Amino acid sequence: MSDFIKACRGEPVERTPVWFMRQAGRSLPEYRRIRAGIPMLESCRRPELVCEITLQPVRRHGVDAAILFSDIVVPLVAAGVGVDIVAGTGPVVASPIRDLSGVAAVPPLAPEQVSYVDEAVRLLVKELGATPLIGFAGAPFTLASYLIEGGPSRHHEKTKALMYGQPATWHALCERLAGITSTFLGVQIRAGVSAVQLFDSWAGALSEADYRTYVLPHSKRIFESLVAAPSLRAGRSESLVAAPSLRAGRSESIEGVPSIHFGVGTAQLLTAMGDAGPDVVGVDWRTPLDAAAALVGGRPVQGNLDPCVLFAPWEVIEREVRRIVAEGKAAPGHIFNLGHGVMPETDPQVLTRVVELVHSL
């Protein structure tokens, strides 16, 4: 079993595993080259391209896990929601949701609508060998914010206005989104990913009380679906999950695929995010891992190097990496990562050096 999966399960590791959120992306010249002229959503629909982009950081940095190249809106677009990704802006929604009729217009996702993701994962599992592949999806709050605001938002004011003012509409929307996300993660799991990460990027905009009322039940339903979907339970075997050579044959064995839950600015939410039921809680750079470990109900943690530290001189980076690895020992498992995604201007050689350092400690 890889150190990454062991750490997700709180088992002893040989070396602290490390990967980087957005490791496949604009920080890499080979990524910018291969993506040139191909729109974001189009690139997510080409399995060979997804495979190549996903592999690039594994080859270059020697990270302990790959993360599927995709975008948080891919399952929405696949289901038929009118969303495009505009370079320099982010997702732009054709008809922002304002009421129950808007929610009714969000269709469910059929697994065959993301067959290109299934195909990409299967290609990747073959290519990656012993290196685990992490699947991913966006959580209901973050997806809802895009759909209600019509795009990225600083204050999420329309989202909160709907959440507070039309709670039935809000919950109906989140139920639909949780359904889409469960289906999307299910496709990835059946195709062979070794773990999944549920991103609730914007949940940090909420207080814990509001998170527990409006968000947690929906995110929890997703985590439960990963282990409890009756059609997928048969044949469960934990050992299958860990044996790379058997990955191709584990399409009926999703129980036991570790899950990670991550958001930014979640100092006030870490306990609640653990209560949503992931195996691992991702932590940004605002809460040290020893403090985080005490908040997340005995779960392993992932994080928490400030991506901005990568712009500092190496001595500073080394000091921070050493501190984080030491503080991570307070948790039953620690997966080294950034506290947010790699920023496009990051020097990729620095990332490689961080991997080497983490592995040496």
For binding to its own copies (CB under 8 A), which residues are involved? 155-158, 160-161, 164-165, 204, 206-209, 265, 267-268, 285-288, 306-309, 311-313, 316, 340, 343, 345
Active-site residue, 71 included:
yes
Name the minimum Å distance from CB 248 to its own copies: 40
Residue 323 Cβ, how far from its own copies at the closest point, in Å? 9
Catalytic residue among 3, 31, 45, 146: 146
Comparing CB distances to its own copies, the nearer of 131 and 159 is 159
Q: Identify the CA nearest to 217 among candidates 260, 268, 277, 270.
A: 277
353 is known as an active-site residue:
no
Would you say 288 or 332 has its CB closer to its own copies?
A: 288
Nearest distance in Å: CB 332, its own copies: 22
Residue 165: Cβ within 10 Å count: 9
Considering the candidates 3, 64, 71, 279, report the single residue annotated as catalytic: 71
Instruction: For the CB of residue 335, give the shortest distance to its own copies in the complex, in Å.
Output: 19
Q: Verify whether residue 35 is a known catalytic residue.
A: yes
Nearer to its own copies by Cβ, of 48 and 157: the residue is: 157
- Minimum CB–partner distance for residue 291 and its own copies (Å): 8
**Active-site position among 3, 9, 22, 210:** 22
Q: Which is nearer to its own copies, 107 or 265 (CB)?
A: 265
Q: Contact 218/198 with Cβ under 8 angstroms?
A: no
From residue 236, alpha-carbon distances to 151, 239, 253 in Å are 40, 9, 4
Catalytic residue among 3, 9, 31, 35: 35
> Is the sign of the CA dihedral 356, 129, 195, 50 positive or negative?
positive
Nearest residue (CB) to its own copies, 64 versus 284: 284
Residues marked active site are found at 22, 26, 35, 71, 146
